[in-house]
Structure 1
Amino acid sequence: MHSTLLVACLLYYAQRCFCADNGMNMTMDGSMELATGQMLPYLHFTLGDTLWFLGWVPQNRGAMLGACIGLFLLALLERWLAACKAIIEVHWNKSRMLAAKQNDSVIPKRNTADRIFRRLAPPFVAAYDLPRGVIYAAQALLNYLFMLTVMTFQLAFIFSLVIGLGVGETLFGRFGLSAHLH
């Protein structure tokens, strides 16, 4: 008697577990609709693509031009940050080398194992390492935003980014290269 009741209860609860739908319809049969239309899975120049947020949907040529100018300027900013980081790194390395020279004249000579470790692992300096982390985080944020922009397949956005990165490298790339040569 108990086993029959146990089997009946298990079947009842098993049915409830597999057939419960919580009132939510999670089927994906319909087309995906965005703010103004459908997401086009190919390269295009049509208006109406969402740029990062639901409210940022260029609906006319002026809005599209503004979005493209903004993306161009963000690409310039990313290249400028890279050049600033390179210049600052060289400055920090020079400061670190000067400090090491001053410390070497005061501190007695160490054995070779200490020197090798010191060359491989520079000390943590908050004044250098925290700004380095902030600059890197800003560059990573911009690069992820660029990736999301390219994923819209909107050619005007993509061309704005590519041209902006090219112009930015032309304007600021030499500072990063020359910083490492000095």
Structure 2
Amino acid sequence: MIWHTLAICLLSFITPSFADTNGMDMSTDGPMNLAMGNMLTYLHFTSGDTLWFLGWVPKSAGAMIGACIGLFLLAILDRWLATCRALMEFHWSASILVADKLNVSPAQELSGVGKFRRLTPPFISSHDITRGVMFAAQALLNYLFMLTVMTFQLGFIFSLVIGLGVGETLFGRFSPSAHLH
């Protein structure tokens, strides 16, 4: 009797995987039908893909070139933001080290009092709020880039990749992490 109960329990977990698809065609052989057209599920150079919003659908050659230039500039902006964040982090950590050295009196040095080293930087609202805003801006750009790549439009993808490369070429040398090689 236990085997029958066990078999029924196991079958109850397996059968939902064979459930009906609720009338949805799950084949991926062709383009996905959307409200305003088709979404090609392969890499392509054709125009007409929605870029982030329903109204942003570059259909003409000029609109495609404009969208690609905009994506190129956004990719450069992303690398500039990354460099600014890294430089600010470097500057903030250096200023905290200097402040820690300046705050030690000669009496504390002789007595050994105050030899405690800070493990984490202090919360300084102007630093931490700026860090958070810049990180959020970078995250937003990265999610927009991800959505752009998901259009499978090669012009958009190449614009982003080339823009990121140009941005790193322009701003990468200013990042403190660039000198760690």
Does the aligned pair in 1 maintain the 2:149–2:157 contact within 8 Å?
A: yes
Which residue of 2 is the match for residue 61 of structure 1?
61
Confirm whether residue 45 of structure 1 aligns to residue 45 of structure 2. yes
Aligned residue for 2:24, secondary structure, equals: coil
1:34-59 deviation digits (Å, cap 9, x = unpaired): 42x21110000011000000000001
Structure 1's unaligned 5+ residue stretches are 1-25
Partners of 1:136 and 1:121 in 2: CA distance = 19
Which residue of 1 is the match for residue 101 of structure 2?
101
Aligned residue for 2:62, secondary structure, equals: helix
Structure 2's unaligned 5+ residue stretches are 1-21, 27-31
Query: How far 1:102 sits from its partner (Å)?
Result: 1.2
Partners of 1:134 and 1:122 in 2: CA distance = 18
Residue type of the partner of 1:33?
L
Partners of 1:158 and 1:32 in 2: CA distance = 22
The alignment-based identity, stated in percent, is 67
Which residue of 1 is the match for residue 12 of structure 2?
none
Does the aligned pair in 1 maintain the 2:83–2:172 contact within 8 Å?
A: yes
Partners of 1:92 and 1:141 in 2: CA distance = 24
1:1-182 alignment to 2 at 5 Å? 27-29=23-25, 32-35=33-36, 37-105=37-105, 108=108, 109-110=112-113, 114-115=116-117, 118=118, 120-177=119-176
Greater Cα radius of gyration, structure 1 or 2: 1
Residue type of the partner of 2:122?
P
Count of residues paired in the alignment: 151
Query: How far 1:137 sits from its partner (Å)?
Result: 0.6
Q: Considering only aligned residues, what root-mean-square deviation do their CA atoms show, in Å?
A: 2.3
TM norm structure 1: 0.75
Does the aligned pair in 2 maintain the 1:86–1:180 contact within 8 Å?
A: no
Structure with a larger share of its residues in helix: 1
Give the 3 Å change call, closer, same or farther, for CA 74–107 of structure 1 in structure 2: farther
Query: How far 1:105 sits from its partner (Å)?
Result: 2.4
